[in-house]
Amino acid sequence: MQRSTERILTTHVGSLPRPPDLLEMINAKEEGRAFDLSRYRARVKNAVREAVEKQAAAGIDISADKGTPVLATADGLVERVPNKGARVRAVSAEEAVAITECRMVLEALCAAKAAARATDKQIAGLRELGDRLRRCVTDGDPLKYSEANQELHRAVRLISGQAVAVTLLDRLNAQLVRHQFQLALRTGRPGQSLGEHLAIIDAIARHDPDAADKATRQHLTSVIKALREAGQRSRTPTS
């Protein structure tokens, strides 16, 4: 087991936390009761991703000291370290930019499709998320803003109905969680991105695919610029 007297390297030793719904599936499997195998496998994968994303956002170095999560490794969330187990993989600013460039194409596709098929109820839900974003900026709460931001993007993806793009974006975004968290804490960043998010919501509400595509690309171009600026600052030597 790797040890440190200076940092909290990991949250626990052993299996990753298991949500209640996953535990119920595991119990059914072990007791020989009927269960949905495809749903079980999908939930295992999502539970691993959720746990490792939270660890990465908190700055944890090692995802688990026992039993490297194979699915998380495959998704690029953790990396194997010979004779030491696994640790949350560090994503450089340059790689974060490259990932976001790929994400921009897929997010724009989802936004355009969402604009073409969104129902009144779904649009109302997006409007509510927009109101939450406004309140977070007014209250000066970047952490809640970050949560609402992620919920908005997730909602747009689900409305789009583009299952392949959603799966790809889940994997891309999982690798960006630490950079997204750090950007959310930058002074003035929530206020800057608020208008960009509201433009996406407005375009979808107007059922304008071209405008939704354009607004999403403008937003993620802004994110890429912020990532590059953050990378440059981290490389600038201090006196």
Q: What's the pLDDT score for residue 29?
A: 73
d(CA 213, CA 103): 13
Residue type for position 171: R
Q: What's the pLDDT score for residue 178?
A: 67
Looking up tokens 């206020």, which residue turns up?
191
| Band (235; pLDDT cuts 50, 70, 90) | low
Highest mean pLDDT among 91-95, 115-119, 166-170: 115-119
Give the pLDDT confidence of 198-216 residue by residue, as tens digits: 999 999 999 999 999 999 9
pLDDT at 229 over 90: no
Read off the pLDDT of each residue in 114-142 and give the average, rounded to a whole number: 96
**Superfamily assignment of 93-235 in CATH?**
GntR ligand-binding domain-like (1.20.120.530)
d(CA 120, CA 142): 29
Helices 189-205, 177-184: axis angle to 10 degrees equals 110
Rounded percentage of the chain residues whose pLDDT exceeds 90: 39
Q: Which residue has the higher pLDDT, 195 or 178?
A: 195
Q: CB–CB of 61/89 below 8 Å?
A: no
Read off the pLDDT of each residue in 103-125 and give the average, rounded to a whole number: 97
Average pLDDT over the chain, rounded to an integer: 78
Give the pLDDT confidence of 47-100 residue by residue, as tens digits: 776 766 666 666 555 555 444 444 444 445 445 555 555 555 566 778 889 989
Domain boundaries, the chain: 20-88, 93-235
Q: What's the pLDDT score for residue 72?
A: 44
Nearest one of 87, 31, 84 to 61, comparing CA atoms:
87
